[in-house]
Amino acid sequence: MSADVLLAKLKAAGLHVVEEPGWRTRGNRWNRNGKPEGIMQHHTAPPNPYPIKALYPTKRLQWRVKCNVATHPDGTLYLVAYKACNYSSGPGMAAVLKDNVRESIAPTHNATRRGLKGGNRHFWNYENSHPGDGSRLPTAQFDTIVESTRITQDHFELNAHQVISHAEWTRRKIDPNWNGSNRMAINQIREAAMFTIHEIEELKRIVVSLDSVNSNGGFAGYAAMLVRKERTYPLENMVTKTTAERR
């Protein structure tokens, strides 16, 4: 689970990756098993694109790392810190995670309900450059978030239910708020993270020929269901028929 292995996986997927100086050693020690307990998605709020240098501290404040990775509207993925980041919520509390994330259940407002400090410190945090006003996320950025989340999930041996939004974690947050709502935003990411490598390749092969569908249009979950029926039904026929009916 080294930083170099993760970097190699991200580059092998064809992502445009920028390494911020010192990212391999930046951050704090993970509390459990030397890895994060899940992946948390945020939006930055303005300005957009958000300045990457503002996401990690000066030498005097090395512990104040705001994220592990960041994305920009053009689809660039920035590697900021491989270790745990305290973010704005402080060190967090492991008790928040006990019966939810570790049991593969996507949490809902656990920190608030329990009266505990935020748990961001236990997650691999994404800061996605976006104003947070519900507007559409650029397709290039969305694809980078989805692909890199899936790769990171596999790298740390996590599952799709451990991919959460900041809004699911604490009641006072709304992020990530794009494509209409934070619920839709995180569900699109989580759906994509559930795909197997085989399913992803099949979807890429088929969906590329459908001019009415793009990776940002909410079709992913239904397409995945069709892929899983491949042994019983001809997949191309099912997708083509469904697309014609949608028109």
Q: Does the pLDDT of residue 230 top 90, yes or no?
A: no
* Residue where a domain terminates, one of 172, 194, 216: 194
Collapse the DSSP code of 87 into the 3-class scheme (helix H, G, I; strand E, B; otherwise coil) and give the result.
Answer: helix
Q: Which of 33, 3, 34 is nearest to 19 (CA)?
A: 3
Dihedral sign, Cα of residue 190, residue 193, residue 198, residue 201? positive
Are 133 and 217 found together in one domain? Answer: no
Are 209 and 170 found together in one domain? Answer: no
Are 155 and 216 found together in one domain? Answer: no
Are 116 and 71 found together in one domain? Answer: yes
pLDDT in tens, 14-25: 999 999 999 999
**Residues paired with residue 164 on neighbouring β-strands, in sequence order:** 40
Are 37 and 79 found together in one domain? Answer: yes
Q: How far is CA 209 from CA 14, 96, 180, in A?
A: 20, 45, 26
Are 69 and 154 found together in one domain? Answer: yes
Are 16 and 99 found together in one domain? Answer: yes
* Residue where a domain terminates, one of 194, 211, 232: 194
Are 28 and 106 found together in one domain? Answer: yes
Task: Give the CA angle between residues 142, 146, 148 to the nearest 5°.
Answer: 115
The overall average pLDDT reported for the chain is 73
Q: Which of 2-11, 120-129, 197-206 is the least confident region?
A: 197-206
How much is the pLDDT for 239? 39
* 119 vs 69, higher pLDDT: 69
How much is the pLDDT for 117? 52
Are 11 and 80 found together in one domain? Answer: yes
Nearest-Å Rg of the Cα atoms of the chain is 18
> Distance (Å, rounded) from C-alpha 223 to C-alpha 207?
9
Q: Read off the pLDDT band of 72 (50, 70, 90).
A: very high
How much is the pLDDT for 240? 40
Domain containing residue 105: 3-194
Are 225 and 166 found together in one domain? Answer: no
pLDDT in tens, 127-147: 999 998 888 889 899 889 988
Are 129 and 238 found together in one domain? Answer: no
How much is the pLDDT for 126? 95
Are 68 and 147 found together in one domain? Answer: yes
Collapse the DSSP code of 163 into the 3-class scheme (helix H, G, I; strand E, B; otherwise coil) and give the result.
Answer: strand
Mean pLDDT, residues 235-239: 39
- Per cent of the chain over pLDDT 70 is 59
55: CATH: 3.40.80.10
Q: Read off the pLDDT band of 121 (50, 70, 90).
A: confident
Considering its fold, how many domains does the chain have in total? Answer: 2
Burial of 109 (0-12, 13-18, 19+ CB in 10 A): middle
* Residue where a domain terminates, one of 151, 170, 194: 194
